[in-house]
Amino acid sequence: MNRFSKLFIGGCLIGASFFVACQQEPAEEAQNATKATEDKAPAAKKELEMNEPSELALLMRSMYDRNLALKKQIMDGDIPESFPEDFLNIHTAKANEKLNETFDALAKEYIKNMEAITKAENRAEGIEAYNNMVGTCASCHTIYCQGPLPKIRKMRIQEGES
């Protein structure tokens, strides 16, 4: 056998043994991981704790639903003369987290945008005011409670939407 053949066969044997060794390690690791899990297992499973929705969360869910109806109304060219009085409770409704002056400023901006909707002279102004209101909601939820952001962003009236 020439030198090249010996090197080739030797390389193949080393490669094959490396391949076999690599194939055995994951099985051993999996077996060890299973054993470690079994050792820790029978501890009581922790139950998920769900917070009760706060007054503010309940108010905002209601505001969301009514603002979707408002969206359709504005798109139909019907500008409301007022907005629901309970929307003003955004300033006083209890929250599950600590709110600060940033929240207060955004809540005031929200109410200002709701008032702008009622003062709109036409559909275009109503849409602009409505979208400003939605933008204020998104700004606030970027800071506090990001969960509803995807739903809020879908509230916008897109150009050409009818």
Report the distance separating Cα 17 and Cα 14, nearest Å.
5
pLDDT tens string, the chain, 162 residues long: the values are: 555 444 444 444 444 333 333 333 444 444 544 444 445 545 555 566 667 899 999 999 999 999 999 999 999 999 999 999 999 999 999 999 899 999 999 999 999 999 999 999 999 999 999 999 999 999 999 999 999 999 999 999 998 776
Residues 130, 70 contacting (CB under 8 angstroms): yes
* pLDDT of amino acid 161: 76
* pLDDT of amino acid 7: 43
* φ/ψ (deg, to 5) at 36: -60, -40
**Residues contacting 61, CB < 8 A, separation 6+:** 53
* pLDDT of amino acid 2: 53
Dihedral of alpha carbons 22, 28, 34, 37, sign: negative
* pLDDT of amino acid 45: 57
pTM for the model = 0.68
**Residues contacting 143, CB < 8 A, separation 6+:** 102, 103, 106
